[in-house]
Amino acid sequence: MKPKKNITSVLEIKDLRKNFGDNHVLNGFSLQLFEGENLVVMGKSGSGKSVMIKCLVGLMQADSGSIRIKGQDITILGQIELDLLRTEIGFLFQGSALYDSMTVRENLEFPLRRHKDKLNMTGHTEALVIEALQNVGLAHAIDLMPSELSGGMQRRVALARALILKPKIILYDEPTTGLDPITSKEIIELMRSIQKKYGTSSLIITHDVDCARVISNRIILLVDGINYAEGTYHELSQSNDPQVKAFFKH
Residues in contact with other proteins by CB under 8 A are 54, 57-59, 79, 83-84, 86-87, 89, 91, 93-95, 97-101, 110-111, 114-115, 161, 165
Q: What is the dihedral of CA 118, 164, 195, 246, to 10 degrees?
A: 110
92 exposed, middle or buried (CB, 10 Å; 0-12, 13-18, 19+)?
buried
Strand order in the sheet with 9-20: 23-34, 9-20, 64-69, 72-73
Q: How far is the CB of 143 from other proteins (least distance, A)?
A: 18
Q: How far apart are CA 162 and CA 107, in angstroms?
A: 10
- Which residue's CB is nearer to other proteins, number 71 or number 95? 95
Q: How far is the CB of 98 from other proteins (least distance, A)?
A: 7
- Which residue's CB is nearer to other proteins, number 149 or number 209? 149
Residue type, 133: L
- Which residue's CB is nearer to other proteins, number 16 or number 165? 165
Q: How far is the CB of 37 from other proteins (least distance, A)?
A: 21
82 exposed, middle or buried (CB, 10 Å; 0-12, 13-18, 19+)?
middle
- Which residue's CB is nearer to other proteins, number 12 or number 83? 83
Q: How far is the CB of 171 from other proteins (least distance, A)?
A: 9
- Which residue's CB is nearer to other proteins, number 156 or number 161? 161
Q: How far is the CB of 3 from other proteins (least distance, A)?
A: 28
- CA within 13 Å, CB half, 31: 35
